[in-house]
Amino acid sequence: MTMMPLYSIASDNGLTTVPSSFGLPETVSRLEALLKEKGVTLFARIDHQSQAVKAGLTLKGSQLLIFGNPKMGNPLMKAVPTSAIDLPMKALVWEDADGKVWLSYNRPDFLKQRHGLGDDLLKPFVPLGTLLEKATKK
């Protein structure tokens, strides 16, 4: 049985990390499809592993999806301009040393704490975790 790496749970860093029932490519594809279905714009997909290979290095699978909806993010950035450092939202699909695939993302309460955002501004972001985690489940 693969255990979650200790460094990921050692402190409350605002991240939620959940295991995926699928391989990395399928998890990423499922996540992209769910975002599209909900009308969320995928701004970028960064394949860290392929970039490492291009540099002559090795790295387990790791893909960062950057996504958002300006109608959701704009009110946060207007209220607290520094929140733009964490927007658009991101989800990291990554593979551990044993080949297990995980999905990590920032929790809305992390944004609240980090930027002093009110609950009213974060309300649209609360269902995000459920949506993202749906990509990891059969």
The answer to whether 96 and 102 are in contact (CB under 8 A) is: yes
pLDDT tens digits, one per residue of 87-124 = 999 999 999 999 999 999 999 889 899 999 999 999 98
The full set of domains in the chain, from first to last, is 16-134 (3.30.310.70)
Q: By percentage, how much of the chain surpasses pLDDT 90?
A: 78
CA distance from start to end of the chain = 19
Task: Please state the separation of Cα 18 from the chain's center in Å.
Answer: 11
Task: Please state the separation of Cα 119 from the chain's center in Å.
Answer: 20
* 119-to-32, 115, 134 alpha-carbon distances in Å: 27, 12, 24
Give the three-class secondary structure for 85: helix
pLDDT tens digits, one per residue of 36-58 = 999 999 999 999 999 999 999 99
